[in-house]
Structure 1
Amino acid sequence: MSGFTFHLPGSVLRDRAEMKPYYVKLTEGLAARGHTVGLALHNRETLLAEVAASTNFHIVDHGAARHPRVLNTGIAYVYPFWNLDPWGIRALSSIAEKPFDPSSIDKEQAIAFTNRLRKRWVIARKSRYEQPMQRVEVPADCIAVFLQSEGHRDVMETCHLDLRQLLKSLMARADPRAIIVKPHPRDHDPTTRRFLNRIAGRDARIRIVDANIHDILAKAAVCVTINSAVGIEAMMQGVPVVLCGKTDFHHCAVTVKTPAEMEAGLNRAIATPWPHDAFLYWYFGMNCMNAGKETLVDDFLDRVAGTGFALSP
């Protein structure tokens, strides 16, 4: 049978109780079928050497390694979906380069699929990070801005505009609409808060809020972010999205790469009838792994076989 090595965080190797259900299902499912399964510490510096020294197929948690016997995996923005990808996860995944053709997507399947997403996230008012349940009044037809922590490595690697450039380019527009800004819950940098308070004091359109993501989106004319998962959540509500960073879900949004592009980008996003249902079905249902499906192990093995790796019977 085939051999698999899962490269996981040290916390999992120290305590198997820390292993996410996705990995439990895969490792136990593969072992039950007779495959050899090993666990290793994910070390970015030594990973490719470890792969080269082995004949196993390698699964890398939060990886961005490229090798014929490697697939990188991680949460694909919202549960229960995971990237399992030859390039990386989320913004770095190969989905970014795949063509999306909404006319090829079954409309009824797409609607049913996206309605299930809406029920789990929008109607339940839940997100990747814990959200306030208390409702806050948000101005209608606002520009909703969702910030990310610039201390996060993946954000700095993939952004076209940082949060200051993003906000200043919005403030430079002659647009009376309210600009609702939600800081990232994990951004504890005091300089960010001082900057936000300063610009809010100078521009009456800007309002800093810590409201529930879905309550803000329900009133938004457009969602602006670097490459946050909130872009996906905006699509669930049919809200146009402007991205200011590299993503693998740019197909159904406008990407702005310089402050000078913000005006035209925002207008184009608002004016475009986006096929959100078809896209969400294509992205998650057709390009990601569903950890909740009973066929997870079979789907995993199909993805491995698709790389050209010869699975032993």
Structure 2
Amino acid sequence: MAKARIIIHLPGSVILGAEPLKQFYRSLREGLIARGARVEFAIHDRATLPGEVEADEDFHIVDHGNLRHPRVLNTGIAYVYPFWHLDPWGIRAGSSIEAKEFDPQAIDAEAAAEFMEKLRRRQVQKRASRYPQPEERVAFPEGCIAVFLQSEAHRQVEETCHLDRATMVEALLARDDSRPIVVKIHPRDTSAGTRDWLGALAARDGRVIVTEANIHDILASAAVTVTINSAVGIESMIHEVPVVLCGRADFHHAAITVERAEDLDAAIMAAERGEWDFPRYLYWYFRLNCVGSGSGTLIDDVLARISATGFDTGRFGLSS
């Protein structure tokens, strides 16, 4: 029987050379080939992918995929570098982590604390985020409510919303709470409409502060974070700031989720009263449910994920 292939489906722009190949995929290909695997790249076409998978008996790894199939794992950045999803359901809001149970008592506290410190050095001290952030430091009122907007135009945001961003912000303004509300525009949202809308809100309500500042400056002063399901929810946890989500997220286990605007007030109070073990949670989420692209065990971790689907990795004809 011929060796099974590992087919990695990537954007056409990458396959055709218009965009660079991410280091994760380069490491994956080189590491698997070094073990004796047959690895091929293919263009990820959502329309044709199911048929391509059914037409062979190989294993498929799909960039930004959401295909559930016994011979498929979906992959993409898991909110913060260097962690990646390698998941049978999808990535981020669509990942299978959403359905798993988190038991903090099953996580070693010392290992979690060490991991948290590494995250803080990598993200907070370096003022780094998934999208480029301004270098200029900005001070915000201590104890403010931090709101991080997303654009419903971006794939998966609209389909995972419980509250859209306008409803979310209006529900915040309706609360009897005098604290400043710091609203950060999403870095990829360049629309004048968003800025006009927020400018009108700030003119109407003196609590509203609209900003495009570095998220770490905002989180350093925040008492609570409110967002739909942005990666900033994870970064808020790194700052140990409680999180209220207004959409589906696979990191909901360490946050309060709101499905109705009228529940937002109670959710904020619950989040601030909660006893959140963020170090253990982030260790569980990233170290136990994702793969690290810079890890010395990356190839073993990937093969273990493939094996967990029920696929016989012996079919790859690996040398070691």
- Please classify the TM superposition score into its range, dividing by the shorter chain length: over 0.9
One-letter code aligned to 1:201? A
- After TM superposition, where is structure 1 displaced by more than 6 Å over at least 4 residues in a row? none
Give CA deviations for 1:91-137 in whole Å, capped at 9, x if unaligned: 00000000000011100000000100000001111111111111112
- How far 1:264 moved relative to its partner? 0.5
**What are the equivalent positions in structure 2 for 1:108-127 lying under 5 Å apart?**
108-127=110-129
Q: Find the residue that maps to 2:156 and give its secondary structure.
A: helix
Between the aligned partners of 2:113 and 2:122, the Cα distance in structure 1 is 14
Instruction: Tell me the equivalent position of 2:193.
Output: 191
On the 8 A contact 2:66/2:94 being kept in 1, the answer is: yes
1:5 to 4, 7, 26: 7
One-letter code aligned to 2:155? R
Instruction: Tell me the equivalent position of 2:170.
Output: 168
Between the aligned partners of 1:33 and 1:136, the Cα distance in structure 2 is 49
- How far 1:189 moved relative to its partner? 2.1
One-letter code aligned to 2:28? L
Between the aligned partners of 2:59 and 2:313, the Cα distance in structure 1 is 9
One-letter code aligned to 2:8? F
- How far 1:149 moved relative to its partner? 1.6
Between the aligned partners of 1:7 and 1:51, the Cα distance in structure 2 is 11
Give CA deviations for 1:63-116 in whole Å, capped at 9, x if unaligned: 000100000000000000000000000000000000000011100000000100
Q: Which moved more, 1:252-261 or 1:31-40?
A: 31-40
Instruction: Tell me the equivalent position of 1:84.
Output: 86
Give CA deviations for 1:136-162 in whole Å, capped at 9, x if unaligned: 120010000010122102111111111
**What are the equivalent positions in structure 2 for 1:50-199 lying under 5 Å apart?**
50-199=52-201
Q: Find the residue that maps to 1:153 and give its secondary structure.
A: coil
- How far 1:174 moved relative to its partner? 0.6
**What are the equivalent positions in structure 2 for 1:273-312 lying under 5 Å apart?**
273-312=275-314
On the 8 A contact 2:4/2:57 being kept in 1, the answer is: no
One-letter code aligned to 1:203? D
Instruction: Tell me the equivalent position of 1:229.
Output: 231
Between the aligned partners of 1:263 and 1:242, the Cα distance in structure 2 is 10
- How far 1:169 moved relative to its partner? 0.2
On the 8 A contact 2:79/2:130 being kept in 1, the answer is: yes
1:210 to 212, 215, 238: 212
Between the aligned partners of 2:130 and 2:313, the Cα distance in structure 1 is 35
Q: Which moved more, 1:97-106 or 1:148-157?
A: 148-157
Between the aligned partners of 1:134 and 1:158, the Cα distance in structure 2 is 33
- How far 1:16 moved relative to its partner? 8.6
1:15 to 14, 17, 29: 17
One-letter code aligned to 1:89? I
Q: Find the residue that maps to 1:143 and give its secondary structure.
A: strand
Q: Find the residue that maps to 1:218 and give its secondary structure.
A: helix
Between the aligned partners of 1:88 and 1:49, the Cα distance in structure 2 is 18
Name the Cα RMSD after superposition: 1.0
- How far 1:2 moved relative to its partner? 3.3
On the 8 A contact 2:237/2:243 being kept in 1, the answer is: yes
Between the aligned partners of 1:33 and 1:286, the Cα distance in structure 2 is 24
Between the aligned partners of 2:42 and 2:147, the Cα distance in structure 1 is 40
Q: Find the residue that maps to 1:274 and give its secondary structure.
A: coil
Between the aligned partners of 2:294 and 2:224, the Cα distance in structure 1 is 31
Gaps of 5+ in 2: none
- How far 1:194 moved relative to its partner? 1.2
One-letter code aligned to 1:26? L
Gaps of 5+ in 1: none
Between the aligned partners of 2:262 and 2:73, the Cα distance in structure 1 is 38
* TM-score normalised by the chain length of structure 2: 0.96
